[in-house]
Amino acid sequence: MSEFEPNIVAFLCNWCSYAGADLTGTTRTSYPPTVKVIRVMCTGRVNPLFVAQALHRGADGVLISGCHPGECHYMKGNFLARRRFMMMKNLLEFMGYDPRRIRMSWVSASEGKKFAEVISEVTRDIAELGPLQPNKS
Amino acid sequence: MDMEKLRDEAKRALGRKEIESLIGYQAGSYGFRVSAAFISSKEEVDRLIFSPLCALSLVNYLTIEGRPSPAAGDKKAKAGKTAIVVRGCDSRAINQLIAEGGLSRDRLYIIGVACSGVIDLKKAEARFPGTLERVEIAEENENYLISIGGRTRIVARDELLADTCRTCQYPTPLIFDKLVGDKRKGSPACYDDIKALEAKTPEERREFWRGQLSRCIRCYACRNACPLCYCDGCVLDKLQPQWVKRSVDTAENIMYHLTRAFHLAGRCIGCGECERVCPVSIPLMKLNRKMEQDVKENFNFEAGKDPAAQPLLNTFKVEDPDDFVL
HEC string of chain A equals CCCCCCCEEEEEECCCHHHHHHHHHHCCCCCCCCEEEEEECCHHHCCHHHHHHHHHCCCCEEEEEECCCCCCCCCCHHHHHHHHHHHHHHHHHHCCCCHHHEEEEECCCCCHHHHHHHHHHHHHHHHHHCCCCCCCC
* CA quadruple B25, B59, B114, B18: dihedral sign: negative
Which residues in chain A touch residue B236, judged by CB atoms under 8 angstroms apart?
Answer: none
B209/A96 touch (CB, cutoff 8 Å), yes or no: yes
Q: Which residues of A touch B (CB under 8 A)?
A: 48-49, 52-53, 56, 69-70, 76, 79-80, 82-84, 86-99, 103-106, 118, 121-122, 134-137
pLDDT value at B80 more than 90: no
Which residue type does B154 have?
I
Confirm if A7 and A59 have CB atoms less than 8 A apart: yes
Q: What is the mean pLDDT of residues B111-115?
A: 93
**Is A137–B206 a contact, with Cβ atoms under 8 angstroms apart?**
no
- Alpha helices by DSSP H, listed for chain B, are 3-15, 60-63, 70-79, 88-100, 121-127, 157-160, 163-166, 192-198, 202-213, 221-225, 250-262, 273-277, 284-299
Q: DSSP 3-state assignment of B174?
A: coil
Question: What pLDDT, on the 0 to 100 scale, is given for residue A26?
Answer: 95
What proportions of chain B, in percent to the nearest 5, are helix, strand and coil? 40, 15, 45
> Quick one: average pLDDT of B58-73?
68
Angle (CA) B174 B100 B78, round 5°: 85
Q: Tell me the pLDDT band of B322, cut-offs 50, 70 and 90.
A: confident
What digits encode the pLDDT tens for the residues B172-220?
999 999 999 889 898 888 899 999 999 999 999 999 999 999 999 999 9
B46 contacts: CB under 8 Å, gap ≥ 6? B7
Phi, psi of B78 (to 5 degrees): -80, -15
Asked if residue B107 has pLDDT above 90, the reply is no
Please answer yes or no on whether B255 and A137 come within 8 Å at the CB atom: no
Cross-chain residue pair B326–A137, CB shorter than 8 Å? no
CB A33 within 8 A of CB A7: no
**Do the Cβ atoms of A87 and B235 come within 8 Å?**
no
Amino acid at position A74, single letter: Y
Contact call for residues A74 and A44 (beta carbons, < 8 A): yes
Q: Which of A103, A108, A114 is nearest to A19 (CA)?
A: A108
Q: Are B106 and B6 in contact (CB under 8 A)?
A: no
Closest-CA residue of chain A to B207: A96
Report which residue type is found at B234. C
Contacts of B235 in chain A (CB under 8 A): 49
Distances from the Cα of B188 to the Cα of B95, B165, B168, angstroms: 21, 11, 8
Residue B264 phi, psi dihedral angles, 5° rounding: -105, 5
Does the structure show a pLDDT above 90 at A2?
no
Average pLDDT value for chain B: 90
Helix H or strand E encompassing B83: strand B81-86
Res A80 pLDDT > 80: yes
Query: pLDDT tens digits for A92-132?
Result: 999 999 999 999 999 999 999 999 999 999 999 999 999 99
Residue of A nearest to B312 (CA): A83
Per-residue pLDDT at B127 exceeds 50: yes
Among candidate residues B273, B165, B279, B261, the one with its CA nearest the CA of residue B209: B261
Can you give the pTM of this predicted structure? 0.91
